[in-house]
Amino acid sequence: MTVPEENRPKTTTTDDTLAAQNEGAAEEQDAGATGRTLREAMEEAGLSPDDVRDGT
């Protein structure tokens, strides 16, 4: 049997945990995609359009 949400015991550390996750997520996003175009990414990787096989 499940317990309704309003009857579940509450934790006191949830806010601390969520804040720590948000800080870590912001750091990961900063290190991720930079908004470059596919062409720029291919040039950075040293690929030309001829190197990529057409999917059709």
Domain ranges of the chain: 5-45
User: Ranked by mean pLDDT, which of 19-23, 32-36, 52-56 comes out on top?
Assistant: 52-56
48 vs 24, which has greater pLDDT? 48
Residues 6+ away with beta carbon under 8 Å from 36: 44
Tokens of 3: 């317990």
Does the pTM surpass 0.85? The reply is no
Distance, in Å, from the CA atom of 27 to the CA atom of 22, rounded to the nearest integer, reads 9
What mean pLDDT do residues 32-52 have? 83
Q: What is the pLDDT of residues 3-31, one digit of tens each?
A: 777 777 777 666 666 666 656 555 555 55
pLDDT, position 46 = 92
